[in-house]
Amino acid sequence: MRSVIIRKLVLQIVFGISLILLIFGASRLVLLLNFGNASLDDYARDLLRMFWLGARFDLRIATISLAPFLVMGFILLRWKSLALSYIGKIHCFTALIGLIFFAASVCNYYYYATFGNHFDIFIFGFIEEDTKSVLHNIIYDYPIFLFLIGTILAGLIFVFVMRLLWKAMDKRSWKPWSNMKTAIFTVVFVTCYAIATRGSLGKFPLRKDNAQVSSLKLLNMATPNAITALQWAISDHKKEKRYPVADDEEGEKLFSRFLGRDISKNEVSLQHFMDRTPENPFLDERPPHVIFVVMESLSAHLLSYDAPPERDFLGAWRTFWEKDFTFMRFLPDGNGTMESLAMLLVASPVQSVTQSRAQRTPFESNLVIPYKRKGYRTVFVYSGNGSWRNICPFLTGLGFDEVVEQNDLVDRYPGARLMAWGTFDEYSFRYAQERLDEADKKGEKLFILILTITNHSPYEVPETWQQPPHELNDAIRQRLSETPYDIDALIASFQYANDALGRMIQGIDEKPYGKHTLIAVTGDHNMRALGYPDPKESALRYSVPFYLHAPPEYQKRIPGIVYDPRRVGGHKDIMPTLYCLSLSDTPYYRRGVNLLAENVDSPWYFGYNEEIALTGEGAYQLTGNPAFYPWQDDESLMVSTGINLDEKHQATLDRILSYKSLMRWQLNRQVNRQP
């Protein structure tokens, strides 16, 4: 008899899952039919991806929402009559859940009709702002009464159909199974159910980072169901930082400390961040293309093990690495990809800026503004999924003319395939080269920002790629032994990414447009999950390189270029350096210096990371117990034993710490639209 109860329980759950899938599937189809057009004919592959991924999201929500009823049914197996009575009523609960999901889907439809988005963080504005006025607008602007009547009718239909199905199946003759057959059936069902709640057989469960399926926004908006989108909105809302008004008194104190001179309250404004590139007739006549590559985990530490011919960690990049400008005493803004990217894009120390209400701020600190003012076409190319951290919609809002991500690359290149985090970097680099070729023929000027992904766990490389020599001695293996990942796979991924980058630089350098293309490269952060117990490695622990390829003519025709590899710097200095090499007489938002300038003696000259800062004298620990570590020599990243802070070093530390607070102040200032 127990086998009959289990089968009836499973059948009720399957009925409920089917109802939920039908509701979400129908709502997705309605959205497409009402807001799509003939252009959908050109997105056949994207449509298939959308329906497949959408069905997986739907199945995940359905199985998770009905899991408590399944568990309760198994608990009640011991009591036959109670279990059968409970199972006979499950369809009422599933109909109620279906009704809730139906109502959410209708609301999501109208949300899209109004805002062009599925449920997102701005839905909380209905509650947190003037709720009374919002409700008033909803009543008068939307068919609220029709919605209520329709919802009631839908609920009645759901209950009627589910009861009808159940009665028809319950009347069947249920023959008992053997214990073995029952056990096998139960194990198989529970296993499949568990997989469905993950939505994936891979390393990671189905998540928001998987939701980008197309360059067409509608398909991306239709992929998640209403409940999934609402879950993401709630998660983003929890992460959101508050952005208090940046008052003048605080600004007065911070500017005075950082700039080293008294700033009066009426001088407090964001104008202190503004600078201007020198006038240069050559740049007016020959504006270069600019490529800025942010490499996943481009580790200064790993690069220190490069020792050809035994260990070639640069591959095709080596020729250019050895002759171009390279700064090694260099720090990323953050120690995670989004932390660094948020600072690079809009000078935001809050990494959730792309997912919070601040995402719609007209940032003066937007890195593309200077290029847009000079008529550049701006392109973002990402080897990963564009829904990660809401990055593609955010970049479109910033003014990027083209946003290309993994699905676009896979559609464009037959050899590209999706891995855990995206596709192989070589396709991002290939796309950039092709866009440069197209732009040069059209007379366009391009600024391309590339974010790579391959050098990331689980560390996969193309099977056709030939790995350069990579002999690791016992000392290196011991040093890397703390990483939880396979060392050989990690090294192969690092070599592949650098080699692919080098092949792009080589391909550009060999083309006519290579004579007027600047290429800048840095890492988003150092290699993580590796301990650095020795304080003498405090700078090595965070460092990433800054590489710059400038064609010879630009080095000659731009006056005052000074290359000193001993100079310290950080992500905050990349854009000022690029602006001064590519734009004539152009205002820009400054939080660093031009590292190739004749004179870098400025309050803005230092390397900065949230954990540590670098100056010409050494490294300052910014967290825990403040300390200063002098450099061991003129070139390496190793520092000496920490020394007590004297008055001079304490003043420097205080000024750098004020920079950290100043970054948060200016972000709040921008988000609240204060001058």
- Would you list the domain boundaries of the chain? 2-239, 249-671
What would the pLDDT profile of 284-294 be if each residue is shown by its tens digit?
999 999 999 99
pLDDT of amino acid 126: 62
The 3-state DSSP class for residue 162 equals helix
How far is the C-alpha of 262 from the C-alpha of 244, rounded, in Å? 24
Tokens 């290939």 belong to residue = 430
* Contact in structure between 370 and 576 (CB atoms under 8 Å): no
Q: Does residue 262 have a pLDDT over 90?
A: yes
Question: pLDDT at position 591, please?
Answer: 96
Share of the chain above pLDDT 90, in %: 65
Q: What is the pLDDT of residue 41?
A: 72
Nearest to 333 by CA among 129, 570, 11: 570
Give the list of residues 6+ apart from residue 488 with CB closer than 8 angstroms, or none. Answer: 470, 472
- Which residues are CB-contacts of 466 (< 8 A; sequence separation ≥ 6)? none
How many beta carbons lie within 10 A of that of residue 139, not counting itself? 10
Return the minimum-mean-pLDDT range out of 495-499, 525-529, 607-611, 646-650: 525-529
CB 333 within 8 A of CB 343: yes
* Cβ proximity of 138 and 59 under 8 Å: no
107: left (phi over 0), alpha (psi -120 to 50) or beta: alpha
The architecture in CATH of the region 249-671 reads: 3-Layer(aba) Sandwich (3.40)
Tell me which residue has tokens 């080293």. 260
- 207 to each of 203, 210, 454, how far by Cα in Å? 12, 6, 19
CA–CA separation, 392 vs 409, rounded Å?
14
Give the total residue count for the chain: 675
Q: What is the pLDDT of residues 603-639, one digit of tens each?
A: 999 999 988 999 999 999 887 777 899 999 988 999 9
Mean residue pLDDT of the chain comes to 90
For residue 130, the model assigns a pLDDT of 45
Query: For 645, phi and psi rounded to 5 degrees?
Result: -75, 120
Kindly tell me the burial class for residue 198, based on how many C-beta atoms sit within 10 Å of its own C-beta (0-12, 13-18, 19 or more). middle
Q: Check whether 129 has a pLDDT greater than 60.
A: no
pLDDT at position 355: 81
User: Alpha-carbon Rg of the chain, whole angstroms?
Assistant: 29
Q: In whole angstroms, give the CA distance from residue 384 to residue 393.
A: 14
Closest alpha carbon to 272 in 287, 286, 261, 283 = 261
Residue 287 burial (10 A CB sphere; 0-12, 13-18, 19+): middle
- Given a cut of 90, whether residue 209 has pLDDT beyond it is no
Mean pLDDT along residues 361-370: 97
With a cut of 60, say whether residue 434 has pLDDT above it: yes
Rounded Cα–Cα distance for residues 293 and 522 (Å): 6
Q: pLDDT tens digits for 289-313?
A: 999 999 999 999 999 999 999 999 9
Tell which wins on pLDDT, 391 or 202. 391
CA end-to-end distance (rounded Å), the chain:
75
pLDDT exceeds 70 at position 413: yes
Sequence-ordered list of residues with C-beta below 8 angstroms from that of 479, at least 6 positions apart, any chain: none
Give the best-scoring range by mean pLDDT among 182-191, 468-477, 545-554.
545-554
pLDDT above 70 (res 601): yes
E strands present in 516-623:
517-523, 546-549, 569-570, 587-589, 607-608, 612-614, 618-621
**Which tokens is 550 given?**
């400038």
